[in-house]
Chains A and B, each alone.
Chain A
């Protein structure tokens, strides 16, 4: 075997290994977080209301202790999901992340002062006319509801408000 074949084999494999790690890392880490948030796939298409962020919060790196987080791991493989979030008297946003962690959509309280209501679907999925539709390139991903609540008192109020939020598969 000629020496250049060894060199080509090594360089080619190194390039593939490098690309696989760089491209695969976002999917891997987002997948791990989705698995934790959904309690190993048991809680999907439903909001989970996290407790106040403290030093014990270990689901996602660099959480803000000033924000109240609610999360919903979505799965569009069997159909669209409706997302409803009640208004909040301070900063709030709903953001949608696809399977590699890319933020594909975000809306805040200034843009939606009366609350958020949209349908998350895959391209080609049928959705009732009139609904605001957000298309997700991936079947699975994460919806995150952030509400500004820097104190325990504000957290308690935000916690009550967000209990009316909805993340649910459309029958």
Chain B
């Protein structure tokens, strides 16, 4: 009797340990991702060949994502020195034309939703960038709208992330993403001090 109880307890413990290890793996995002200067993407998102871990991660952080033919997604969680993006800092995002029919960069709070701050300044997209003659663009990312230029508000976003969406991407994005001129991010200041 005691042996059967011990075995039952071990089986229950095993189920819990196994479940928790799966949650850790999903949250740690251990699947085959690629890093392009801080922009993290996965070839398997939206692919029929996606492994179960990728499916679980996508369900948690990007449910209803499209196939790569339709859209490719990259996420940035760190600055140019690998430090987590924070709403206590101010950054500048610089870029140029991107090889896609339409693109956007969008700031998400730590909970993966748009930050609740009342600023209505969560994203910047190709329709706004194309107004400049050379299609170069620059966006300030911070708590305050310091100048009149493009701005994404990070107020109340905690440790935020930025998503780069490339809709109807050109072949280079799918076949040679390392050749894409991704936007660059630079930390300007943190908590009132220069970075």
Q: For B118, what are the chain A residues with a Cβ–Cβ distance below 8 Å?
A: 55
- In the complex, which range does the number of interface residues on chain B fall in? 35 or more
Q: Which residues of B contact A97 (CB under 8 A)?
A: 64
> Contact: B63 with A29, CB < 8 Å?
yes
A residues in contact with B14, CB < 8 Å: 9-14, 16-17
Docked pose: A149 CA to B10 CA in angstroms: 55
Tally of chain A residues near chain B (CB < 8 A): 52
A64 & B23 in contact (Cβ 8 Å cutoff): no
The CA of A65 and the CA of B17, in the complex, are separated in Å by 39
Which B residues, 19 to 72, have Cβ-Cβ distances below 8 Å to chain A? 19, 21-23, 25-26, 46, 48, 50, 52-53, 55-56, 58-67, 69-70
Interface residue SS majority, chain A: mixed
- Stretch from A75-83, A98-106, A120-128, A162-170 that touches the partner: A98-106
Q: How many A-B residue pairs have CB under 8 A?
A: 170
Do A93 and B10 form a contact, CB below 8 Å, given A61-B62, A63-B114?
no
Most buried by A among B10, B16, B168: B10
A55 near B10 with CB under 8 A, answer no
Closest A residue by C-beta to B112: A61
CA distance A28 to B19 in the complex (A): 14
What residues make up the interface of B, taking CB atoms closer than 8 Å to A? 3, 6-7, 10-19, 21-23, 25-26, 46, 48, 50, 52-53, 55-56, 58-67, 69-70, 101-102, 104, 106, 108, 112-118, 120, 122-123, 125, 127-128, 163, 165, 167-168
Residues in chain A within 8 A of chain B (CB atoms) = 1, 5-6, 9-23, 25-26, 28-30, 33, 53-58, 60-66, 91, 93, 95, 97, 100-103, 106, 108, 110, 142, 144, 148, 150
List 8 interface pairs A-B (beta carbons < 8 Å), by A numbering.
A13-B15, A13-B18, A14-B21, A18-B19, A64-B106, A91-B168, A95-B70, A106-B66
